[in-house]
């Protein structure tokens, strides 16, 4: 870092107290990081798929070998419970192993004679240098979602973590240097200005996960660079009268995982009038058994806590159920916020139209499935949704009509590397996970050869 690099405090979300400080990257740091990645890219791309896979597998091994350090780093920045942090470290290693194998499969159209006297095929080539800008809600897992396919496809990556959660990104860069090639993965910690500077550098793609406002800013600044955006959710969960008995418990479990700070978490529960009161009561009972501090972690930062307070404070919900907070001694000033169920709401209530991004479920009633579908699709975000019911024809018909990139039936927030995840509308565009994500970080080149000459 240069002498003029600013230093900003880092806060422990569990206590609200400063835990350390961070030297944030500015133009000199972003330029050096991109130069290192640019210099490393030809050698990394030149490796055979087999060799690139071997090194990605070694990278995954190092993450697991150092799992305790990753868990501690993840908890320092996010305050996640131990089980959540450990699960996300495991998921990170698993995703890298998935892409180590996936990039060895041929996803290009088969070669052949598409024209008389011509043989044609398609080469998938890496883009070059990818700027991956990831958020604070899943600092390690979102990094893995981006760097996994990008590295597997032969790109090098400059990873810019969120200001409040740089810890695991630094460990990733350290272990990547040992497992891959020097410069294949470079980390530049910093604030929003760091991200803006990185987007303006000599890169080939921006992979951004974050807020809708941040995504719009990136899209403008990226100009002609390829952009992949995964933004907000405000996701609906349509609960039908014949929903399974564990529906309310499962929805509460999903919305309190990571304190509800997930773009794909359920947010808006939509019922028919005949099961509205039963659903509200069931959600309230389930939420009463989930305590912030004992069962899930804090919100990430003071701004997010203030957002939660503003939205729930301005809500005119006629029915409010608030769970308990059970923070430990010394953590009274952390960013702990209780789980809430809000019902008897107007359609334009702030808690409905804004994404709270916290452990909050709103509940609305409609007259039938067509109205439920219209309400579910009424917000500009279209990332994920769920349908809960026992009639297969009805649930699958609703799943088909829901405007979302990912739909669950009788479950929510269940994901694995084999399945794609991506949004529509103001939730962004692009694909995370699955073999489909490899094409996000590649460009096709058609090659045609004339077989006979005059």
Q: Does pLDDT of 362 surpass 60?
A: yes
Give the pLDDT confidence score for residue 105 in this predicted structure. Answer: 84
Give the pLDDT confidence score for residue 390 in this predicted structure. Answer: 97
Give the pLDDT confidence score for residue 290 in this predicted structure. Answer: 96
* Number of residues assigned to the chain: 454
The DSSP result for 398-422, as a single string, is HHHHS--SEEEES--S---TTS-B-
pLDDT digits (tens, 9 = 90+) for 104-116: 887 666 778 888 8
**Percentage, residues of the chain above pLDDT 70:** 98
In the β-sheet with 442-450, what is the strand arrangement from edge to edge? 112-115, 118-126, 442-450
CATH for the stretch 7-231+427-447: 3.40.605.10
Give the pLDDT confidence score for residue 111 in this predicted structure. Answer: 79
Beta strands per DSSP E along 137-222: 156-160, 185-187, 205-209
CATH for the stretch 235-416: 3.40.309.10
Mean pLDDT of 228-237: 95
pLDDT digits (tens, 9 = 90+) for 240-251: 999 999 999 999
**264 neighbors 406 (Cβ within 8 angstroms):** yes
Residue whose structure tokens are 């230093």: 7
Give the pLDDT confidence score for residue 73 in this predicted structure. Answer: 96
Q: Helices in 180-238 by DSSP H: which ranges?
A: 192-199, 212-221
**160 neighbors 198 (Cβ within 8 angstroms):** yes
Which residues on neighbouring strands pair with residue 337, listed in sequence order?
Answer: none
**Percentage, residues of the chain above pLDDT 90:** 92
Q: What is the dihedral of CA 276, 277, 282, 285, to 10 degrees?
A: 140
Give the pLDDT confidence score for residue 110 in this predicted structure. Answer: 72
Q: Does pLDDT of 258 surpass 80?
A: yes
Confidence of residue 388 (pLDDT cuts 50, 70, 90): very high
Residue extents of the structural domains in the chain: 7-231+427-447, 235-416
CA–CA gap between residue 337 and residue 297 (Å, rounded): 9
Residue 169 burial by Cβ neighbours in a 10 Å radius (0-12, 13-18, 19+): buried
Q: Select which of 212, 263, 355, 440 is catalytic.
A: 263
Residues 6+ apart with CB under 8 A from 301: 11, 13, 136, 164, 335
Question: 3-state class of 6 per DSSP?
Answer: coil
Confidence of residue 1 (pLDDT cuts 50, 70, 90): low
* Structure-token pair, residue 45: 């791309």
pLDDT digits (tens, 9 = 90+) for 4-43: 678 999 999 999 999 999 999 999 999 999 999 999 999 9
Confidence of residue 2 (pLDDT cuts 50, 70, 90): low
Instruction: Name the helix (H) or strand (E) containing 365.
Output: strand 360-366
Q: Select which of 230, 250, 355, 440 is catalytic.
A: 230
Give the pLDDT confidence score for residue 185 in this predicted structure. Answer: 98
Confidence of residue 454 (pLDDT cuts 50, 70, 90): low
Pairing of strands 384-388, 406-409: parallel
Give the pLDDT confidence score for residue 112 in this predicted structure. Answer: 83
**243 neighbors 274 (Cβ within 8 angstroms):** no
Number of other CB atoms surrounding residue 449 within 10 Å: 9
**415 neighbors 219 (Cβ within 8 angstroms):** no
235-416 has the same fold as 7-231+427-447: no
pLDDT digits (tens, 9 = 90+) for 204-224: 999 999 999 999 999 999 988
DSSP count for the chain of H helices, then E strands: 14, 20
Question: How confident is the prediction for the chain on average, in pLDDT?
Answer: 95
pLDDT digits (tens, 9 = 90+) for 422-440: 999 999 999 999 999 999 9
Give the pLDDT confidence score for residue 116 in this predicted structure. Answer: 84
pTM of the model: 0.93
Give the pLDDT confidence score for residue 76 in this predicted structure. Answer: 94
pLDDT digits (tens, 9 = 90+) for 126-170: 999 999 999 999 999 999 999 999 999 999 999 999 999 999 999
**33 neighbors 169 (Cβ within 8 angstroms):** no
Give the pLDDT confidence score for residue 3 in this predicted structure. Answer: 60
Could you confirm whether 263 is annotated as catalytic? yes
């Amino acid at each position: 870092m240069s002498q003029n690099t600013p230093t900003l405090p880092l806060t422990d979300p569990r206590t609200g107290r400063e835990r350390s400080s961070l030297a944030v990257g500015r133009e000199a740091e972003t330029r050096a990081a991109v130069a290192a990645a640019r210099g490393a890219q030809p050698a990394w791309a030149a490796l055979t798929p087999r060799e690139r896979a071997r090194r990605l597998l070694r990278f995954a091994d190092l993450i697991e070998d150092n799992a305790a350090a990753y868990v501690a780093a993840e908890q320092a920045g996010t305050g996640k419970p131990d089980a959540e942090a450990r699960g996300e470290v495991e998921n990170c290693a698993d995703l890298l192993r998935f892409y180590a194998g996936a990039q060895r499969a041929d996803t290009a159209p088969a070669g052949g004679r598409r024209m008389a006297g011509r043989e044609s095929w398609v080469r998938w080539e890496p883009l070059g240098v990818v700027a991956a800008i990831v958020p604070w809600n899943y600092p390690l897992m979102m990094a893995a979602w981006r760097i996994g396919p990008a590295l597997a496809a032969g790109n090098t990556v400059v990873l810019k973590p969120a200001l409040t959660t740089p810890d695991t990104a630094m460990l990733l860069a350290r272990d990547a240097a040992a497992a891959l090639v020097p410069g294949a993965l470079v980390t530049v910690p910093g604030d929003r200005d760091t991200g803006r500077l990185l987007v303006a550098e000599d890169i080939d793609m921006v992979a951004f996960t974050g807020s809708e406002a941040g995504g719009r800013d990136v899209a403008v600044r990226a100009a002609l660079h390829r952009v992949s955006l995964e933004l907000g959710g405000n996701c609906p969960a349509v609960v039908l009268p014949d929903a399974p008995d564990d529906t309310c418990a499962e929805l509460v479990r999903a919305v309190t995982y990571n304190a509800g700070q997930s773009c794909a978490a359920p947010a808006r529960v939509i019922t028919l009038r005949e099961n509205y009161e039963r659903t509200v009561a069931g959600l309230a009972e389930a939420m009463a058994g989930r305590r912030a501090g004992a069962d899930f972690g804090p919100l990430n930062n003071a701004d997010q806590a203030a957002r939660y307070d503003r939205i729930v404070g301005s809500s005119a919900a006629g029915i409010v159920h608030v769970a308990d907070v059970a923070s430990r001694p010394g953590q009274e000033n952390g960013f702990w916020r209780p789980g809430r169920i809000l019902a008897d709401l107007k359609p334009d209530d702030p808690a409905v139209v804004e994404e709270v991004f916290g452990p909050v479920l709103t509940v609305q009633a409609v007259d039938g499935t067509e109205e439920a579908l219209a309400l579910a699709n009424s917000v500009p975000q279209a990332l994920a949704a769920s349908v809960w019911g026992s009639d297969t024809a009805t649930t699958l018909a609703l799943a088909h009509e829901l405007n979302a990139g990912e739909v669950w039936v009788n479950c929510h927030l269940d994901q694995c590397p084999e399945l794609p995840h991506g949004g529509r509308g103001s939730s962004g565009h692009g694909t995370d996970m699955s073999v489909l994500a490899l094409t996000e970080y590649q460009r096709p080149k058609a090659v045609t050869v004339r077989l006979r000459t005059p």
